[in-house]
Structure 1
């Protein structure tokens, strides 16, 4: 198998010189799950003023340090309605949590330590240090970068952006991924297939895969095994950022996808990989667009999508995908591997000590979609990996789609 391309070399070619897609402006409430294209910069301090952290009385610390004075109540400060005057010696202002601390005050005495009678306030416990004030800019200072470009926006980020007075955000547009399922044997779910036909699942699974990682999927529809039909579908797919074909990537008598692509002008980079499952995987460039030819086997197609299409989408979104490999111990041992990098379907389980471990599923036949649906992750076994004992560390990719 010397002519099989290693996975790392294939991935390097697929990701070479990727330029992120352009940006668009969306309303803040539409930004969830999108990728930030421009950093969010704080336009003001947060809190924008010295704020009380407790209900109580704003005072001058020098009036209460080491003593229990009677102070004159001169006003009220509550959220949205601060006390506008400067506090003078011997004065106090009734204040509530989150309200602005009046100018001249530098401490808050909690209400439990005060007895109030009309406009007189008796401090019952001496203070040893200024307390209960959140300083201006405690959380955020004006000019701080709050959210970096390339961040996948969560509800927490939306809240932070809102606090920074951002009603709209610049996000990467969704990469458009055209999906081309091929094969005379395929029919859509909901039809009445003949005994020699297969229900098409790859296009639906891959469309969902693309959407789950922030892309826009365009299903070109099932195309039969004829060169004219394939070439016409390929032409339609070139409006997308990436064209993904399914099946027919090999060079058998009925594997016409590669031929149709080459006839359309594809510059083929490779089509045979040292990977299991998914050896017949094709990649090249056509009219400046990347073309990824996935195997027709449903398990192989989705595993290869996780290994290759996912990092490509992350690159198009201006994000990196190199940090999604995790290391966990094996729940059970694994035999030595051969020349192909193996991606083994596995469950994540807890051992007796509570550690998260990966347990390979018993049957790894690439035709078994149910085992893929029930798996939590893929154990990565490099080429020629030796026998691995239970408890030894392995790398995994989570099946988070």
Structure 2
């Protein structure tokens, strides 16, 4: 199958990991993939793979972290340009992007003759569905967030000014796609109820993790030595420090832990509320038992996860499919997360993770203590979590589900 992959991102952060992983997985399945994007093809040798149909080297290059073709200097230029544009001007630039994107996509359709356009949804980005309709090419739309809603949330660094127009575009884009792939069950419900998308055209495919990169046999000794963690039990949080990730709740729960040997809390990441969290730690007198690492590149994340005994995701937006949960599971780390519908897409409570009552510090404390007091139970949870990733929540399995959905559509429509 020939897949024309379009996205309008800088190809960095979690979105960059997701984009590169899906492209690599499609190629490993033997599909030809051509990329149309601001950031270019994220896989080393991607053009050659697209031309030959050979997946050789693409996945391995991604896993090694040596795959990004666009230089960091180019990314910085694009990021700087975006940062210089004030609110409405930025959104008008997003709209204007559709003009060159449509030209590039039409040109790619003529030369590459794809069986499918695979588009990662972004605000105002209608180019792929418009070109799909004009060229009668099926469009599979991947939606990771209801961006027109997300960009109105408190703390959003790009708050929407053209709210009504953004909703209009989101509705048009999602309704126009032949299939909509969403990362959680609540996100499907939102698009059906709030954006008018037909339910039978929406496929729920939660995110995944790379079971090769996130190997349970990795050693965490380097990180434990760096932060003088010794052999104590380490509770870990990984992610951007924002209000909606609930790290303040984790600190409250951590302060309530009552174990014979007190654990250490490792907070991996940085963000706008780091100082507030540090002040909270100081107010509770926990400075000697809490470490903030600052930002860590994704290609080093497995070393930090290897140093963690119990991973915690205290909170997430209602639609999210947090990759940090899945990467912890891939490492065989018992993971504790809030009991919400989107997290239940990822974790079976008591089998491959533990869920706690959302917003309840006492419930979170109890879940952590249960794992810390019963190492055999914690190992069983971690082992089952690893099996879940190997069986179904990895990028190759997700790409295979997309292929199966495309095959079903082709059988149903005869095209």
Fold conserved (TM > 0.5)? Answer: no
Task: Kindly indicate which of the two structures has a greater share of residues assigned to strand.
Answer: 1
Task: Kindly indicate which of the two structures has a greater share of residues assigned to helix.
Answer: 2
Q: TM-score, normalised by structure 2?
A: 0.25
Task: Point out which structure has higher relative CO (alpha carbons under 8 A, 6+ apart).
Answer: 1
Q: TM-score, normalised by structure 1?
A: 0.25
Question: Higher Cα Rg: structure 1 or 2?
Answer: 1
